[in-house]
Structures are given as structure tokens and as C-alpha cells.
Amino acid sequence: MKRFGFHTLIILLTFLMAAPLFADSHESILDKVKKRDKLVCGVHGGLPGFGFTTEDGKWSGFDTDFGRAIAAAVLGDADKVEFVPLDAAERFTALQSGEIDVLIRNTTWTLGRDTELNTDFAPPTFYDGQGFMVPKSLNLKSLEELDGATIGVTAGSTTELNLSDTMRTLGVKYNEVTYGDIDTLYSSYDAGRVDVVTSDKSQLVARRKDLKNPDDHVILDITISKEPLGPLTIHGDNKWNDVVSWVVYATFFAEEHKITQKNVKDYKTENPEIKRFLGESGDIGKKLGLSADWAKQIIMAVGNYGEIFERNLTPIGLPRGVNKPWTEGGLLYSMPFR
Amino acid sequence: MEELTFTPEIKPPSTKKDPKRWLKDNLFSNWYNTLLTLLAIVLLYFLFKGVYTWVFTQAKWEVIPPNLRKLSVGKFPKDQLWRVGQVIYVLAVLMGLSAGIWKGLNQQITSAVACVGAVIALLPIQVNTSLREAAIIATTLIAVSYVLGRDLQNLKRWVIIGWVLMFPWMMFMLHGFGENSISTILWGGLLLTLILAVVGIVACFPIGILLALGRRSQLPAIRWISIAYIEVVRGMPLVTILFMGSLMLPIFMPGDFRPDKVIRAMIVLTLFSAAYMAENVRGGLQAVPRGQYEAAQAVGLAYPQTMTFIVLPQALRSVIPTIVGQFIALFKDTSLVSIIALTEVLGTADEILGDPKWTGYQPELYVFIAVIYFIFTFAMSHVSQIVEAELGVGKH
């Protein structure tokens, strides 16, 4: 009897181990999305300006607008997207396990993530950088003056590493307080439990207005890291990564050429590149595996990059900064549409 | 004949104390008790003052009314809310009928639910009209079906069938089918919390009993599997198992086969609490004296009969407090599903805080949610006390 139980266990375990062998499918996510007639996009469930839901349950935000743009390009309908709110810890696993098709969740493009996490990045949609917010009364100008200060950061992000790297280089000693949760970090700062708070500048700006006296705090004119935030797809699905990348480029391109949500429908032009872009000539849509008017669908649904930015990020007080077209001295540079 | 001498009658000392006497005995009996009392009064004063000023002057409660719908049903589409309404109404009728037919405990639970409904219906704040409407209809339905149920004793069987069919019907109703089906990713708020908790509680109970019996089984295969299951599950945090169920499972599953995320969470919660339930029940089984088993065998009862009619009723009765503790823990554990992107009531709060309009409102929202949790858990423990009193636990 005893032996029987053990054998059953072994047999059961063998079956469990063999399960992955039955898994197959080298089908591109692009085809899966088309078949499903719905895009599944991982986002931040509650990040002001980037991804959140309004009272009546509608998704809104900068990141979610790019999700809608992809849905518009692939399926011709920006509403055919299901947003899955994800935690920082589970976002990559969700992508790897195929739970989501694309991850657009304020994720910094780093070498480690590109190589080790089995993911591919699409062009950054937002160039951020880590900065510092301090009370105005301290009258700080440089990081060297932070010697002995207590600095608050969120745990498990690149922020912590950037801070210690920078401070070690400068030889500045400081006390670090890590918080698991953004809300606690800022309420602790507001209560004076930490002297300085460091995070991506976009977050500092967005959070400053919720402090008790926003005008008493300044964001130092120092950027200690590069934080290019962009969409991610699973490693190896080049066809799908191409689609996501060119959706992002399409929003850049439209802003460069002043194609807006309003004028895209009857945009008249003789410029051959714009004609190709709008699907009036050439076959760039077919090359990507999309319809001819894919780019037009994007702009009709969410507008160009500038419009997306102004709709979502300008209201929370974010300046455009380097997130301007390269023609205006920014970093947004669309690859040629030909 | 001897003369009997009577001692004068002395009245027993009065057990009733006047307030003054009570104060002196309990609070000011000597100098250090007096000091402690005064200190406690000062502390309580400051605590109460702090809470009072925060609740009534500082707290910005305006975040609650516009988000009440989101907190109750999450992102459930507005034009499909009638589905939730249908489920609530049928539930109300079933509860009313059960209360009318069986009286006793059913009556108490039902009247508690009806009270909550009435409170929501009469809430003085600006509530979403559909919520108020639903509360009014549900309360009326409970009252009407209660009155009807008292005269319809022959409906008993149908009501039981109704309760059994309730769960599949609820899932079907909420999810819908075909074109108009509502993805479970849109389920949220209190609706999701309650669904997960109820499913977990109802399903983990029988599984837990089977595992407990399995662990005490004479058959080694069954015993070892039960022990392995219980120990493995108890050895892992719920968060880990939720992660496994939500993110790892799809990696192991072939092709595109994806069990629904909410279903996966239900399974995980059920399996997790079943392991704990098994140990609770085992504790009860051990408390049943050996003589009971032997007596049952002596009158010729088979194993299933011994268990169902003799042992389990006694075993379960003695562990009601721990079982209810387990249920309450499970109810609160449902908040952990927010880490696998299911927005139950606590996850909904975080979602609301992400709206630039509502950042900085976390104290109000979290306090509100704490109150919701308290109402439910308190109701659960109160019901368990009624059950205990009815079964005479601790008395005989």
C-alpha cells in the first residue's frame, strides 16, 4: 500500500514536468491579436497621467493611449483593447507568460532588462530622468550639500541604484530610507520624516502638487540618470515588435508633420512620405502586416505625440522638456517611412 | 423538645452598586489606581479629540460618493449593471424565503442583511441612484418573501435547489455570453471581494473535511497525499501561490489555454484555505473521544455513517470558533489578489488614487475600506456566536 502511494506521486509529478512539452505555438502575437480581435496591454493601474481609471471605470493616461494606438493600428478600433493593471514586480512575468501582448508601464529601458528578462523594447515614448525634490527653505543647489541628509526612495526600482552610484562617485554620505509604496514615500516627505525625496522627475512634478504647500518645495535642476520609458514586447517576436515600434514612430512622425486628430481625415499633401504614411501610396501597411490606413487610424484615435502628451501629461504639470520632436531640439526622432 | 433559637436574619450584601460606589471600587480604589485612571482619561481625551477632528473636520470625504460605484462593482460596465441587480434580487428572495421557512439563524442573518440594505437605501449622502434603487428593491424583496415564506413550508425543497443553483447562475449572469459577455477583468470592488470570499469559504469547507479525514485515514496512499498537500500548501505564503496560479500556470499550460484569471484566484484561495481548514477539522476530530467511534462500530455503522452521523457533527461543533476565524482570515486574504491585478475593493482604492483628481486622498479611502471590512468580519463573528449559542457549544 505504501509503495502504491509513492508511485502515484511519481507518476503525477512526471505528468506535471512533461506539461511544458505540449506547449508550442511560434505564431506571432500580431496574428494572435488579430484572431482574438482584442489587444491585451499591461499598464500601471494607478499612476497619475500615465495610467489610471476614472470614476466610471474608463482607462485614461499617456501609456494607455499608446495601448489604444496599437489597437487602432492593428484592429482599426482603439476600443478593442483590454488593459491589465500590473505591479512593478509582476510586469515582466506577465509579459513572458503571454498573459499580456505588450507592456506599456513606465518601464526604463536598460541593458539588463533587454538581455536577461527575455523582452524587447520599442522606442521610448517618454524620456525621463531621476531628480531630487527638496524643501525650498533648505536652499540647496548641489548634491554635495546633501551630506548627512535623509533621502527617501521607493524600493525595487532603478532609482535606488542610481542614487547610491551617484552619491558614491561624489563621496557624499547620506541616510537612505526605502518605501515600498509611492504614496507612503510622499506623505513621509510631506511630514518631514525624510529631508529629500528622489525619483523620476515626472513623478516628482506630478506629486508635488499634492503636498500640503507645493510652493515650499523645489525640484533641483540636476538629473542623475537616464530613464527612457517605453513599450516592451516578448523577446524574439520581431514581427510584433516591429508593429509596436512603428506605432510609436507614427505618433512622432505625425507631430513632425503637423498631422493632427482633427486634420488627418482630409489631410491633402503631395509629400510622398506623408502619402505613404497615410496609406495613399506604397505598401508600408502590408510590410508590417497591417491595413493600408493603419497610421491614419492611430492619429484618428489618439492624435499625434504632442496631442497625447498635452491631453495626459500637461494637466498634471509636466513640461515637454526633451520630449519634443528633434526638429524642435528634442529627442523624438521618427525613422523614415519608406 | 429543645427550644430552637433563631439568629436574626441578615440580608446578603447588595450586589447592586450605585455608580458612585462602582467608581470608587473600580477606578479610584487607591492612589495608583486613581493616577492610572486620570492618565487614561487624558489619553482617551486626546485620542478621541484627534479622531473626532479628523473625521469631522479634516477628512475630505468628497472622494467617496463619486467613487462609490467603482468601490462596489469596479469597472463593471454601467449599462450592464442590471446583471448585478438581478443577482442581488434573487439572493434577496432566497434569503427572505429561507428566513420565513426555517426561522432561527436564517432569520437573524437575513434581518442583518435587510438592515444593511435599509441603511444604504436611506443613506443621507449623495449616492448613485442605481445603488439606492437596488437597495430599496432588495430590502423590499427580502421583507415580502419572508412574509410569504412563513406560509409556504412546502417550498423547502425548491429553496434548497435554488441555493445550490445560485452560484452557477450568478457566474452565468455576471459573465453573460456571446457578444455581450463581460470579461472578468472588469469585475472589481466589493463585488469581487465577496465573490472570492464566498466561493473560497463554501468550497474550502468540504475539501478541508476530506483532507482532514484523509490525513487520519488507514490507507497510506490517501494519508500521505493528504499530509503532503497540507504541509506543502501551509508551507507557502498565499502571495506566492497566487503568483504561481496567475503567472506561472500559463507558462506550463499548452498553447493558448488560459483558465480565467478570476477562476484561477478562486481555485488558489480555495485550495489554500482548504489546507488550513483540514488542520482545524483535524483538531476537532481529535477532540472526539475514542469511545464514540467504538460505539458507532458496535452498533454496526460503516465508516461513512460513523463520520457523517456520529463523529463529524461533534468534531465540527467544537471547532466553530477556529473555523470562523479561518473564514474571516480568508475574507481579508482576498485583498491579496490585487497583486495579481485583480482589483478587489482594496485594489480599487489604489486605482482611484491613480486618478490625478484623487491623489492624496488615501487616508479617507483606506479608512472607508477598513470600515467595510470591519462590518463584514464583525457580522461573520457575530453570526458564529449565534450558531454557537444555538448548538450550546461550551455548555454541554
Test A49 with B356 for CB contact under 8 angstroms.
yes
Test B67 with A20 for CB contact under 8 angstroms.
no
The answer to whether B221 faces chain A, any CB pair under 8 Å, is yes
Q: B347 and A45 in contact (C-beta within 8 Å)?
A: yes
Q: Write the CB contacts of B118 (distance below 8 Å, at least 6 apart in sequence).
A: B135, B139
pLDDT for B98 equals 87
Which of these, B209, B160, B206, B341, lies nearest to B264 by C-alpha position?
A: B341
Beta strand A81-86 with A102-103 is unpaired
Instruction: For residue B121, give how far its alpha carbon lies from the nearest alpha carbon of chain A (Å).
Output: 21
Q: Which residues of B touch A315 (CB under 8 A)?
A: 356
HEC string of A122-187? CCCCEEECEEEEEEHHHCCCCHHHHCCCEEEEECCCHHHHHHHHHHHHHCCCCEEEEECCHHHHHH
Q: Which residues of A touch B229 (CB under 8 A)?
A: none
pLDDT for B6 equals 74
A138 and A283 share a domain? no
Q: Which residues of A touch B360 (CB under 8 A)?
A: 210
The answer to whether B69 faces chain A, any CB pair under 8 Å, is yes
Judge whether A290 lies within some domain.
yes
A233 and A302 share a domain? yes
A97 and A221 share a domain? no
Domain ranges of chain B: 78-181, 183-396
pLDDT, tens digit, 9 for 90 and up, residues A54-84: 888 889 999 999 999 999 999 999 999 999 8
Q: Chain B: residue nearest A61 by CA?
A: B355
Question: Whole-angstrom Cα distance, residue B133 to residue B88?
Answer: 12
Test B221 with A99 for CB contact under 8 angstroms.
no
Judge whether A68 lies within some domain.
yes
Work out the average pLDDT over B59-80.
87
> Above 60 in pLDDT, residue A14?
no
Question: Whole-angstrom Cα distance, residue B270 to residue B233?
Answer: 11
Test A5 with B220 for CB contact under 8 angstroms.
yes
pLDDT, tens digit, 9 for 90 and up, residues B179-203: 667 878 888 899 999 999 999 999 9
Domain finish residue from A205, A225, A245: A225
Q: B100 and B149 in contact (C-beta within 8 Å)?
A: yes
The answer to whether B339 faces chain A, any CB pair under 8 Å, is yes
Q: What percent of chain A has pLDDT over 90?
A: 60
| Helix ranges restricted to H, chain A | 2-22, 29-36, 62-75, 91-96, 111-116, 158-170, 182-190, 201-208, 238-256, 272-277, 284-288, 294-302, 305-312
pLDDT, tens digit, 9 for 90 and up, residues B296-348: 999 999 999 999 999 999 999 889 889 999 999 999 999 999 888 788 999 89
pLDDT, tens digit, 9 for 90 and up, residues A16-40: 555 444 444 568 999 999 999 999 9
pLDDT for B84 equals 87
Judge whether A7 lies within some domain.
no
Test A25 with B256 for CB contact under 8 angstroms.
yes
Q: A106 and A312 in contact (C-beta within 8 Å)?
A: no
Instruction: For residue B214, give how far its alpha carbon lies from the nearest alpha carbon of chain A (Å).
Output: 13
Q: Which of A31-35, B89-93, B98-102 has the highest mean pLDDT?
A: A31-35
The answer to whether B149 faces chain A, any CB pair under 8 Å, is no
Under DSSP, the state recorded for A215 is G
Task: Say whether B84 sits in a helix, a strand or coil.
Answer: helix
- Tell me which residue has cell 432561527: B104
A264 and A205 share a domain? no
DSSP characters for A13-37? HHHHHHHHHH------HHHHHHHHT
Q: Write the CB contacts of B265 (distance below 8 Å, at least 6 apart in sequence).
A: B196, B242, B245, B246, B337, B340, B342
Query: What is the C-alpha end-to-end distance of chain A, expressed in Å?
Result: 72
Give the nearest partner residue to B362 out of A54, A60, A183, using CB atoms: A183
A54 and A194 share a domain? no
Query: What part of B 126-145 touches A (C-beta under 8 Å)?
Result: none
What are the b/e assignments for A320-331, b being 16+ CB within 10 Å?
bbebbbeeeebe
Domain finish residue from A204, A225, A246: A225
Lowest mean pLDDT among B118-122, B133-137, B247-251: B247-251
Assign residue A135 the CATH number of its domain. Answer: 3.40.190.10
Number of domains observed in the structure of chain A:
2
Test A87 with B362 for CB contact under 8 angstroms.
no
> Above 80 in pLDDT, residue A9?
no
**How would residue B178 be classed by pLDDT, with cut points 50, 70 and 90?**
low
Q: What percent of chain B has pLDDT over 90?
A: 37
- Tell me which residue has cell 536577461: A116
pLDDT for A8 equals 59
Work out the average pLDDT over B363-380.
91
Q: Which residues of B touch A207 (CB under 8 A)?
A: 359
Judge whether A333 lies within some domain.
no
Judge whether A216 lies within some domain.
yes
Judge whether A235 lies within some domain.
yes
Instruction: For residue A40, give how far its alpha carbon lies from the nearest alpha carbon of chain B (Å).
Output: 11
Going from the C-alpha of A8 to that of each of A3, A156, A234, B222, B224, the distances in angstroms are 9, 42, 37, 10, 11
Which of these, A43, A58, A52, A75, lies nearest to A206 by C-alpha position?
A: A52
**How would residue A264 be classed by pLDDT, with cut points 50, 70 and 90?**
very high
Test B250 with A99 for CB contact under 8 angstroms.
yes
> Above 60 in pLDDT, residue A92?
yes
Judge whether A163 lies within some domain.
yes
Judge whether A337 lies within some domain.
no
pLDDT for A20 equals 46
> Above 80 in pLDDT, residue A176?
yes
Tell me the residue type at B369.
Answer: I
Instruction: For residue A291, give how far its alpha carbon lies from the nearest alpha carbon of chain B (Å).
Output: 24
pLDDT for A2 equals 45
Test A55 with B243 for CB contact under 8 angstroms.
no
- Tell me how crowded residue B357 is: count the other CB atoms within 10 A of its CB: 15
ipTM: 0.75
pLDDT for A22 equals 44
Going from the C-alpha of B180 to that of each of A83, B169, B354, the distances in angstroms are 18, 16, 29
Domain finish residue from A225, A244, A276: A225
> Above 50 in pLDDT, residue B367?
yes
Work out the average pLDDT over B89-94.
89
Q: Which residues of B touch A57 (CB under 8 A)?
A: 70, 74-78, 186
A50 and A182 share a domain? no
Test A84 with B67 for CB contact under 8 angstroms.
no
**How would residue B261 be classed by pLDDT, with cut points 50, 70 and 90?**
confident
Q: What is the CATH T-level fold of the domain B183-396, as seen in this structure?
A: MetI-like fold (1.10.3720)
A220 and A177 share a domain? yes
Question: Whole-angstrom Cα distance, residue A53 to residue B348?
Answer: 10
pLDDT, tens digit, 9 for 90 and up, residues A100-132: 999 999 898 989 899 989 899 999 999 999 999
The answer to whether B366 faces chain A, any CB pair under 8 Å, is no
Test A55 with B354 for CB contact under 8 angstroms.
no
Q: Write the CB contacts of B156 (distance below 8 Å, at least 6 apart in sequence).
A: B101
Q: A292 and A283 in contact (C-beta within 8 Å)?
A: yes
Test A315 with B256 for CB contact under 8 angstroms.
no
- Tell me which residue has cell 456566536: B385
User: pTM for this one?
Assistant: 0.81
pLDDT, tens digit, 9 for 90 and up, residues A291-334: 999 999 999 999 999 999 999 999 888 889 899 999 999 999 99
Test B254 with A187 for CB contact under 8 angstroms.
no
Q: Range of A257's domain? A: 29-127+228-328
Test B251 with A52 for CB contact under 8 angstroms.
no
Q: What is the dihedral of CA A273, A279, A283, A289, to 10 degrees?
A: 120
Mean of the per-residue pLDDT values of chain A:
88
pLDDT for A5 equals 55
Instruction: For residue B245, give how far its alpha carbon lies from the nearest alpha carbon of chain A (Å).
Output: 12
* Residue B362: half-sphere exposure toward Cβ, Cα within 13 Å: 18
